[in-house]
Amino acid sequence: MTDEVDGRFGTPLVDEAVKKAAVAWVGVAGGPARALWCVPSEGSLLVVSGPGEQAAPGLAEAAEAQVTLRGDHGGRIVTWPARVTRLAPGTEEWATVAPTVAAKRLNAPGAAADLAQRWATDGCALVRLTPAGEPAAGDRLPDASLAEPPRAAPVVRVTRRPFRLHRVRRR
């Protein structure tokens, strides 16, 4: 059973999963889901993407997405439709939220305020993912693993044969 509060649909399972989320699998427009770093905020998830940050093709322009969250033991526990809202730099909401998200960004160079300023000027997108419909959980989740082959990436290298210090003679 979902309850609508301030335009946000939620269930106790979704609310609890969102509170504990650090990574969410987000799919946009029927595309493959991507693992994205996120920050929980008031029953929603905040995600930053763009230059110098994580890649989330199509998320900044999307109106909706599918979000999958894992449980305490790493397994998928809930998938829910999300309303995507892009926060605009210079707004009151940006001024409140961006520094908070920047402070939680690991391994970021410089201060949180400088990072939030870079997001605003470099074309990064800060989006809010808000539950917007009936979640799939328990027996409503697919039985299959939904595993996909690895995507091509520029960082993949061909594996070379191991180096041998000495020659092995065969008899």
| Domain positions in the chain | 12-131
pTM of the model: 0.81
Q: How far lies 137's CA from each of 37, 90, 108, 127, in Å? A: 22, 38, 35, 24
* pLDDT tens by residue, 100-125: 999 999 888 888 889 999 999 998 99
Backbone angles phi and psi of 7, in degrees to 5: 75, 10
DSSP letter, residue 166: S
Which regions of 15-137 does DSSP assign to beta strands (E)?
Answer: 23-27, 34-37, 39-41, 44-49, 64-70, 76-87, 125-131, 136-137
* pLDDT tens by residue, 78-107: 999 999 999 999 999 999 999 999 999 988
* pLDDT tens by residue, 19-62: 999 999 999 998 889 999 999 999 999 999 999 899 999 999 99
Dist. CA 66–CA 165, nearest whole Å: 52
Q: Name the residue with higher pLDDT: 149 or 52.
A: 52
Q: What CATH superfamily is the domain 12-131?
A: Electron Transport, Fmn-binding Protein; Chain A (2.30.110.10)
